[in-house]
Structures are given as structure tokens and as C-alpha cells.
Amino acid sequence: MGYLFSVAAGLIGGIAAVLLIERRRSKKRRRARSRTANTAGNEKRTDGKIEFSKLFLSAVLLTYFAGFGLGVWAVTIDISQLGVFLVYVGTPTTVAIGFYSWKAKAENVVKIKKANPAETEGIPVDLNNIQP
């Protein structure tokens, strides 16, 4: 039972640390942005917004660590649950990491094409056909 409390305290502490760090970073960005105000007034506001893919990956990783703690506790009680534990933890993590990597690759292909127009002149960018 002590393991379960330790895992829960670790998860809560980790989430709190991430939220505090992000809050501090966003305040610094807001202060820097207010000092160098855009005279044109068409600056895109992104304060407090988190990309969906990073939010998705964070949710899966949170589930991973919560399931890992619970699974370790269950496996210590009954070792026959090890296979179920490994599938529960591994499957969503694999899917999330694969999705995030594919998305990052697609974004990087577009960025490389825009940054190097002369070198990539004859190479088409087909986002529907990116292979893993």
C-alpha cells in the first residue's frame, strides 16, 4: 500500500512541478513581449496555449506512469499478471510515441522545404504519403 501512495505522491508532485515551471516561463514571455510591443499590432497571441500533440503525449505518459505504479503493485501480489501489465503499459505508449514521431517528421519536411528552397527545388512535398 505504501508503494501506491508513493506513486501517487510522485505523480502529483511531478504534475505540480511541470505546471509551476510552465507558469513561470509564460510570465517571463509575457513580460518580454510587453517590453517589446509590436507596433503593427498583428502579433499572434499564443500565451497559455499547449499544442494538442504535446497534451496528448503528456496524457498518455501520465497514464503510463499511473498504470506502471498500479501494475508493479499488482505484479508484486500476483506474478501471473506480468503479461497483462506489460501489454497495458506498452501498447498506448508505443502508439503515442509513433504518432508524435510521424507528426514531427511531417512538420520537419515542410520546414526543411521552406528553409532550403534552392536545394529542394525539384522535390515535391506530399504530406499524404510520408512513410515512417
* CA gap 116, 119 in Å, rounded: 6
**Burial letters 96-106, b for 16+ CB under 10 A, else e:** beeeeeebeee
Q: What is the pLDDT of residue 38?
A: 52
The pTM for the full model equals 0.44
User: What pLDDT, in 10s, does the model give residues 1-49?
Assistant: 677 777 777 778 778 777 788 888 777 777 777 766 554 455 555 556 7
Tell me: the pLDDT tens digits for 92-129?
778 888 888 888 888 888 888 788 878 777 777 666 66
Which residue do the cell numbers 500533440 mark?
53
Say how far apart CA 26 and CA 46 lie, in whole Å: 10
- Average pLDDT of the segment spanning 54-75: 81
All 3 cell numbers of residue 63? 497514464
- Round to whole Å and give the CA distance between 50 and 13: 20
